[in-house]
Amino acid sequence: MSSRPIPSLLKLSVLMCMPAMTLAQEDTTPLELPSLDVRSLVSEDITGTPGAASLLTRETVDTYKPYSLHDALDFVPGVRTIDDDVLGLRSGIGVRGAPPRRSRKVLLLEDGTPINNSAYLDSGAHYTPPMQRLEQVEVLKGAGQIVHGPLNNHGIINFRNLRPTAEPETRVELAGGNLNSSLQHIMHRRTEGSVGMVFSYTGREGDGTFDVEEHEFDDFYGGIEWQLNDSHQLAASATYFRERSQGYDESNLSLQQYREDPRGKKRLDEGREYNNISVDYYKLDLTHNFQITDDVSLSSKVFSTELDRPRFQTDEESPADGGVMEGRDRRYHTLGVDSRLNIGGLSASGLDHRIQTGIRYEKHRFADRRPVGRPGEKLDEGNRGEVYARDGENGYTRDGRLMTYDAEAISAFAQNTISWGDWAITPGLRFETFNQYNKTNFRPSDDDEGTTKKDSNTLLLPGLSVVYSGFDNSEIYAGIHRGYAPASARSDEFPLTPETGINSQIGLRSSAIKGVGLDMALFYNRIEDTLIRAEVDSFGDARFVNAADSRVYGLDLGARVDSWAWYDSPLNLFAEAALNYTNAKFSNGPLKGNDVPEVPRFSGSLTLGMEHTAGWHLSATVSHFGAFYTDIENTRPITAEGNEEDAGRVPSHTLLSARASYKLPTRLDTTLWVQGRNLTDKLYIADIQEGIRPGAPRSVLAGVTFNF
């Protein structure tokens, strides 16, 4: 494993904490912030949100200490994840009927900035921010689709970073566990006069699912907010995320190999320990918030992201024995400008109105390079090889592939929230137009070499939502909207048709019963031209097709019960559930009646626990993930007799996790904690993609958190 600059960072944290101690007695009045901010999807409270929404708060993360972001999302109804690595670095998030693999059907945002690789060209994700520096995770399901897009058929997730506090705050967290796992986190935030600032470093490492895998990442984040006056605020933030994972590849085990040794790749003697993936991710946000009047505000942002993601693997023989390594070397660049206007305090015809409008421009570029090394040459992010291909008689020639893809997109929206007593009705319309360009730069012997193809699409996405709040501590909401997902430009069938949907729901949020919180929603989505991963080409790249139309319906249910509400006791007994039922099937053509891949019928979690005012917490969670197919043909279960080509159905599994913490009764705010997932060390199959990938083994992490 590579070394990290931990000692320097610890020294920096100490230096930053010293002035924090001297300033702790100064004015703690928070900064005055504009009413609308492009960095957030919802306010601190989801009350009044025109649709299903959930918040994964800082408090929840600190209490449950989930091992990875995927584990944290277990506590959010309607969200399901598929692990491709033990740290959840290969983002696999699905909302409702969206297949989770690479989060391709979910719009991922960080402080309002899109962080999918490229939403308009190749919407997978290889980066999500570490939980340790997040203030909360905002999840919209059937809400906000007019304001946010694309990838807005199923759900939208916004990762909101920590922001400056008036009173200086420092946090240090250190942890270690089995599988050579470790965690280091340092955060400091403060305000000096009219300027607030945040700095955060997070590092993780650990062994992977297979015996050749080792994962690690380092994440650096910094943000600054400058309140110029009562009307203007400027903000800037920068992120650098670095991952180096050794022994990782997407070529998993055959059925026979899995039965012989489910976690063994070294024994195959194919040099898979040389396989590797690297991620270097950069993000820069510049924001201006302008409070024009008490009721009118304008929030604007310029953002830029860059993702460099080379991946290399052996071709059945170790480079130490003269084998060849091949790669998929990809770079993504995005640049965007986003501006939103909020106008409140309007009255007409006896009704109150709140108007929101916005416009966004984005430019994307995606370069896809497929290098091949020479015999015995080791490839990694420092040596990326050349675009060579094998020739059976003459060795190696320049006969690989180099493709570039470009996109330009303009989107705009307008919606009006009309309030009348206990009713709030929000009609709205989103406009999207985008161009995709597919250029074959280098592909000898192919007729497309040197050509550029173009595809243009324009869509109107109307929506209507209703919220009724006339009951005690309860809201009923309903809505219908049109959403869409741009097709991947990385397809031999370019251009594909964008996936469009008509999505509806009705739900209830309630805390009317003392000590009980409830949030449930019924949903029904009609999806046309469903985009599905159909197969992989000879180079191992996924190919996408417009499979068929599909129908998705189901139920999301979140509930929490606390005994504190009924008994005056220092001890609280609680139960929390996040349950999902989803039925997703193709509705026409030869696939009619087949399940949409990667969408289990049942999934969810149930947590039981106790906590005490003395500062301790104990809880355990049972998580269930139902069976699902990985292919559009819905082939036979993995347990069937036959060869591995027959295996296309991942069996269901149920896992146990638990955690305990104790806040020491000392002057320094110190918490000791331990958490474990898959505590029974159950062997289960997480996914079948290019073979069988087992789920993570038992993982235990213990640590200490200091806040001062």
DSSP per position, 128-157: ---GGGEEEEEEEESSSTTTS-SS-SS-EE
Report CA 176 to chain centroid distance, whole Å: 25
Q: What is the pLDDT of residue 642?
A: 42
- As a whole number of angstroms, the distance between CA 465 and CA 140 comes to 13
Report pLDDT digits (tens) over 110-141: 999 999 999 999 999 999 999 999 999 999 99
> What are 190's two structure tokens?
């403060």
- Residues with pLDDT less than 50, the chain: 1-36, 393-395, 397-399, 536-540, 640-646
Cβ-in-10-Å burial (0-12, 13-18, 19+) of 229 comes to exposed
- As a whole number of angstroms, the distance between CA 99 and CA 599 comes to 6
> What are 323's two structure tokens?
């084998």
What phi-psi label fits residue 638: left (phi over 0), alpha (psi between -120 and 50 degrees) or beta?
A: alpha
Question: Would you say residue 1 lies in a domain?
Answer: no
User: Domain with 90 in it: what CATH number?
Assistant: 2.40.170.20
Cβ-in-10-Å burial (0-12, 13-18, 19+) of 167 comes to middle
**Domain of residue 319, residue span:** 6-707
- As a whole number of angstroms, the distance between CA 73 and CA 308 comes to 26
- As a whole number of angstroms, the distance between CA 214 and CA 86 comes to 10
- As a whole number of angstroms, the distance between CA 106 and CA 78 comes to 12
Angle ∠(214,215,219) on CA atoms, nearest 5? 155
For 208, the enclosing helix (H) or strand (E) is none
DSSP labels, 519-538: EEEEEEEEEES-EEEEEE-T
Question: Would you say residue 220 lies in a domain?
Answer: yes
Q: What is the pLDDT of residue 542?
A: 53
φ, ψ for residue 206, nearest 5 deg = 175, 155
- As a whole number of angstroms, the distance between CA 268 and CA 311 comes to 20
Question: Would you say residue 647 lies in a domain?
Answer: yes
Are the beta carbons of 524 and 552 closer than 8 angstroms?
yes
Question: Would you say residue 261 lies in a domain?
Answer: yes
Which amino acid is residue 342, in one-letter code? N
Report CA 228 to chain centroid distance, whole Å: 33
The whole-model pTM stands at 0.91
Q: What is the pLDDT of residue 545?
A: 67
Three-state secondary-structure class, residue 52: strand
Angle ∠(487,493,499) on CA atoms, nearest 5? 25
- As a whole number of angstroms, the distance between CA 389 and CA 369 comes to 13
Question: Would you say residue 360 lies in a domain?
Answer: yes
Question: Would you say residue 291 lies in a domain?
Answer: yes
Shortest CA distance to 340 belongs to which of 357, 323, 365? 357
Are the beta carbons of 536 and 542 closer than 8 angstroms?
yes
Q: What is the pLDDT of residue 130?
A: 96
Number of domains in the chain: 1
Which amino acid is residue 21, in one-letter code? M
How far is the CA of 685 from the CAs of 238, 479, 692, in angstroms? 38, 37, 7
Are the beta carbons of 124 and 103 closer than 8 angstroms?
yes
Question: Would you say residue 34 lies in a domain?
Answer: yes
Shortest CA distance to 432 belongs to which of 416, 415, 413? 413
Q: What is the pLDDT of residue 254?
A: 87
Q: What is the pLDDT of residue 26?
A: 35
- As a whole number of angstroms, the distance between CA 187 and CA 17 comes to 10
Question: Would you say residue 82 lies in a domain?
Answer: yes
